Amino acid sequence: MSRGPLRSRWPCARGASFQSTHEFPTVSPSRKIIHVDCDCFYAAIEMRDDPSLANRPIAVGGLADRRGVIATCNYEARAYGVRSAMASGHALKLCPDLLIVRPRMDAYKEASREIHGIFRTYTDLIEPLSLDEAFLDVSGCEHFAGSATRIAQDIRRRVWQQLRITVSAGVAPNKFLAKIASDWNKPDGLFVITPDQVDDFVLALPVTKLHGVGRVTAEKLKRMGIHTCADLRSWRRLDLVRDFGSFGERLWGLAHGVDERLVQVESRRQSVSVENTYERDLPDLAACLECLPELLEQLAGRMARLDSGYRPGKPFVKLKFHDFTQTTLEQSGAGLELEDYSDLLAGAFARGKRPVRLIGVGVRLIDLRSGFEQLRLF
């Protein structure tokens, strides 16, 4: 595990000057947020427990002959283009030597419990995002004289020492920047954005890195000539609200490095879902049904990353028609197979019988709270 000096890789817009007549939001210098993300978590546990798997492409997921989906894979597999939420059959085409291992959720949950035990020695303000990812607010922590950087270093050291897996961490004044930072030096990395570095860092940041900017919004921003946050800052806040609705207000704040979301200690998810807005409206039900398998593969990948304090409840389908009207249909007792979602999709489409611009699929979640009953996803 690397223990060298911290690497600095700021994407600063050197020599660039920026002026605006608009009032700038301010970044709170008092908040200290750490985002911790385990490196290819499930695969890392498998390689740790079976050293013969090291240095060869492996993935954790469902079997190809059962239309399984990849939950995660190691970096050797990623070099071939294998990714999470990819159909196992397609992954094997990209990497014929890929070994797909069935998930051992009990082992992953136990490792997650140990990691969270380490977190709790520094703060109780922990927002788990999945078994292998969490935000920590260490603003009031007295360890290491309150240094969030040294706390993050110590967390990484202890996880490696105790579990023999690596984690990457990002330190910043807010959640938005901490999450970006944790990905900056992956794998096995640490990246720190101090309050006085926020402005330079954000200026050169691609808008595709902004929280909530998906493919459709990114393409719209590109058509407007907006590629970086520096470009975004040249737009008036009111113009962004006009073009993007309430999300325009958030875009404007993120472009200035501001994210006031708190670390939600008791945050529990009500559902998990995926959706896609299509460049061209889908003209009929048959066209909508053709899009369903890909969406369900993505949904399975997201469900695989949920912590085990949930189990799936009612499936649902959301449609947004070409005139921006929308409908959501869900059904108690229905299964989570392609056929079940096809029936829901047909029922939702019958409500509008118009071209469709967006399809969403998801599952309402039952909060177990007592924790650790595993979703059977594979």
List active site positions.
133
User: HEC profile for 289-339?
Assistant: HHHHHHHHHHHHHHHHCCCCCEEEEEEEEEEEECCCCEEEEECCCCCCCHH
The CB density around residue 32, as the number of other CB atoms within 10 Å, is 26
Handedness of CA 265, 267, 273, 274 (dihedral sign): negative
Query: Can you give the C-alpha Rg of the chain in angstroms?
Result: 22
For residue 361, CA distances in Å to 173, 272, 366 come to: 34, 9, 17
Angle formed at CA 330 by CA 325 and CA 331, multiple of 5 degrees: 155
138/122 Cα distance (integer angstroms): 7
Strand order in 70-73's β-sheet? 70-73, 58-61, 99-101
